[in-house]
Amino acid sequence: MSLNFEPINLHKQYEYLEHFDRCSQKASDYSVVNLWGWAEEYGLCWAWSDKLVWIKQTVPEEFFWAPIGSWEEIAWNSCFDEYFNGRTKFTRIPDILLQIWKDCLGNKITSEEARGHWDYLYSVPELTELKGNRFHKKKNLLNQFRKKYDFQYIPFGTDLIDRAMKMQEDWCTWRDCESLEALAAENRVISRILNSWTKLNGLTGGAIIVDQDMAAYTIAESLQEDTIVIHFEKGSQDYKGVYQAINQMFLEHSGNKFNIVNREQDLGDEGLRNAKLSYHPVGFLKKFLVTFK
């Protein structure tokens, strides 16, 4: 029996979320917003079986991602025999699913760490309060921003989409997005998500306005009951401390009902890794590359 893949679409997002809710570990990659936003960049498609949603990446090469559903209820040996014939590669496999596969499939699979795909997990209270020497530099920059600028924090809504698009355009001009494919791809994804704001379930965010100009914005999504995931966070180079400000203010105003904030991966970028480590993660959601032999 074969899997019939189709382009990822928003008509099935609620049906997908029912499967995602059954996953015992929820990585940021598998949120509806990420799947929809990055679908064209990675050539993502999905297929539906009785108990699972299968996800396949086709660009720049073919990988399967973690199947979504209640992993503990699946007879994985017969499932793999039914759908896969020969060597198959899986990427972004969360560590809980990997352990289930090891227990069921044994030496039929091999695995290796995919460090660039690990999700960074932080304490919401810690990043809101910024107490102690570990956060002294962040707190200092936040205080400088508060003192220097006449600002207003507001929750993100449809009325801010055009202003965010304009700020994103300015940000990309400053960073020369078109000369770096990673930034150009991210810019296309942000535009895709903002243009679909009213159709996507669970989106939230915030913005900082200074003198009628948007100085920063963030786009986020509830990942599970105690965890919020931040997909994008952008600040204008014209305002010192603006990143520390949008990070803290969003969590204080809009993320305070959560215990954990997932700030996604570093994709192996050294500068991004150092920036994420500087906020002192309390843990990682580890992911792996798995080969079914």
Q: Does the pLDDT of residue 258 top 80, yes or no?
A: yes
Count Cα atoms within 13 angstroms, Cβ side, for 283. 10
User: CA 8 to CA 43: how far, in whole Å?
Assistant: 9
Strand-pair category, 227-235 with 88-94: unpaired
Task: Give every CB contact of residue 175 below 8 A, 6+ residues apart in sequence.
Answer: 183
Q: At what angle do helices 136-148 and 242-254 cross, to 10 degrees?
A: 90
pLDDT band at 165 (very low <50, low <70, confident <90, very high): very high
Contact 66, 53 (CB under 8 A): no
Residue 266 tokens read as 């570093």
Q: Does the pLDDT of residue 250 top 90, yes or no?
A: yes
User: Quick one: pLDDT at residue 50?
Assistant: 86
Strand (E) or helix (H) holding 206: strand 203-210
Q: What is the mean pLDDT of residues 154-171?
A: 96
Q: At what angle do helices 181-195 and 161-175 cross, to 10 degrees?
A: 170
Encode pLDDT of 193-229 as tens digits.
999 999 999 999 999 999 999 999 999 999 999 999 9
Contact 215, 242 (CB under 8 A): yes
CB atoms within 10 A of CB 138: 19
User: CA 56 to CA 66: how far, in whole Å?
Assistant: 9
Encode pLDDT of 23-38 as tens digits.
999 999 999 999 999 9
CATH superfamily name and code, 6-117: Gcn5-related N-acetyltransferase (GNAT) (3.40.630.30)
Q: What is the mean pLDDT of residues 67-93?
A: 96
User: CA 64 to CA 167: how far, in whole Å?
Assistant: 35
Q: Which CATH class is domain 119-264?
A: alpha beta
pLDDT > 90 fraction of the chain, expressed in percent and rounded: 98
Q: Which of 276, 274, 207 is nearest to 28 (CA)?
A: 276
What is the pTM (predicted TM-score) of this model? 0.97
Q: Report CA 292 to chain centroid distance, whole Å.
A: 26
Residues of the chain with CATH 3.40.630.30: 6-117, 119-264
